[in-house]
Amino acid sequence: MNWGLEVSMTEKEISLNRGLQGVYLDRTQTTFIDGKNGVLEYSGYNIHDLAENSNFEETSYLLMYGKLPNKKQLEVFDKSLKNARKLPEKIYDVIEIVKDSHPMDVLRTAISTLSSFDEDREDFSEEAIIRKGIKLTSQVPMIVMAHYRMRKGLDPIEPSKTLAHASNFLYMLEGEEPTKDTARLMDIDFVVHADHGCNASAFTTRVVTGTNADFYGAITAGIAALSGPSHGGAAEGVMELARDVGKADNAANHVKKLLSNRERVMGFGHRVYKSADPRAKHLKEGVKKLSKEKGQTEWYDILLAVQEAMRPYARRGIHANVDFFAGAVYYLIGIPKDLFVPIFAVGRIPGWTIQILEQMRHNILIRPLLHYTGSREKLYVSIDKRD
């Protein structure tokens, strides 16, 4: 094994994997991804099966406990989620102070602050981590929506005591219960976003957990990683792209222009999926249905035309990813653009929770090496003798 002590090794002698591409970090029992064939499974259950038959509450249980719940277990779990729809009063003060920042920055700050109010803060037991995961799963939507209201000078809407997770999320936007179809689409969106292996944000939560830091520190760091446009920020970019395209007929030219300027087409490409992203299908169907319902079919047409223009790139493994259609779903529901990434975080808390727990179960400090390519053994030159 190379322990990093062979300081003069060449790049040929070491195994250098920029971006840790293709490197297995550990074992997992949670999420299986076959990027070549476009397969995603949570605890052995195919994402298509879950998107069609499960819901966010049940899928969260599946991720956190590694098995589907029976009726009683689901009832208890659902009750815990609903009971956790509370935020300490002072979190609203924190949101007020930072309310002019991007919602992801507000969310990061609020989650970091939540640790001060958790009496289980010092408890690293499995039960405590699950408890914190459940609590945060319910609190993150509240933070996102409270900020949305407060920056407009409005009071946050009290969460419902009875609505399901996805419906309650949308209810806290304007105080109106969503239609059954819209709530179901949001629910599917949360299901397909609930976990995704060792992507940048999950990896970040594992790195922080690897140092034995606490749950809130790990999630706060995960939120920071998620906020970048190469990760969670793409959905926001997709609606900008759709707006720039303007109408379906312009898509081919616009895409050509972007590619000839070596710009990225947002919502395309994936580090792991080199065939179709299996999550995209469910949101694509949702956009189709919702855009008809809202009488705004132009967005679906534009996205289809962009997808068509990108077809030649499928040969290179560049396909539409989950964010390509997610942005349009949120837009059609009436959610402002800068909440698109926070929505990703709303769905991802169960996934991060189990990844933190898995990391804790066999904890190891995550500490890769950097191959030094600068000059060495220079002699120190006093400042008055430097050029």
Binding site residues, ligand COA, CB under 6 A: 230, 234, 264-271, 318, 321-323
Minimal distance, residue 311 CB to ligand COA, in Å: 13
Minimal distance, residue 381 CB to ligand COA, in Å: 40
In whole angstroms, how far apart are CA 238 and each of 51, 318, 363? 22, 15, 38
Catalytic residue among 147, 193, 254, 270: 270
By beta-carbon proximity to ligand COA, the closer residue of 167 and 321 is 321
By beta-carbon proximity to ligand COA, the closer residue of 316 and 376 is 316
Q: In the numeric block, which tokens belong to residue 276?
A: 């179709």
Minimal distance, residue 263 CB to ligand COA, in Å: 7
By beta-carbon proximity to ligand COA, the closer residue of 148 and 331 is 331
Minimal distance, residue 42 CB to ligand COA, in Å: 17
By beta-carbon proximity to ligand COA, the closer residue of 86 and 243 is 243
Task: Verify whether residue 323 is a known catalytic residue.
Answer: yes
Minimal distance, residue 364 CB to ligand COA, in Å: 26
In whole angstroms, how far apart are CA 20 and each of 179, 272, 317? 43, 12, 19
CB 146 within 8 A of CB 95: yes
Per DSSP (E only), the strands in the chain are: 31-34, 39-42, 45-46
Q: Specify whether the backbone of 197 is left (phi greater than 0), alpha (psi in -120 to 50) or beta.
A: left
DSSP H or E run through 256: helix 251-260
Minimal distance, residue 234 CB to ligand COA, in Å: 3
Q: In the numeric block, which tokens belong to residue 119?
A: 């009496």
By beta-carbon proximity to ligand COA, the closer residue of 214 and 323 is 323
Can you tell me whether residue 170 is helix, strand or coil?
A: helix
Nearest to 216 by CA among 110, 344, 334, 94: 110
Burial of 159 from C-beta contacts in 10 A (0-12 / 13-18 / 19+): buried
CB 252 within 8 A of CB 304: no
Nearest to 337 by CA among 277, 285, 256, 266: 266
By beta-carbon proximity to ligand COA, the closer residue of 156 and 229 is 229
Minimal distance, residue 158 CB to ligand COA, in Å: 34
For ligand COA, which residue has the nearest CB?
269
CB 168 within 8 A of CB 157: no
* Cα dihedral across residues 169, 174, 179, 181: positive or negative: negative
* CA 243 to chain CA mean position, Å: 23
By beta-carbon proximity to ligand COA, the closer residue of 323 and 358 is 323
Catalytic annotation, residues:
270, 323
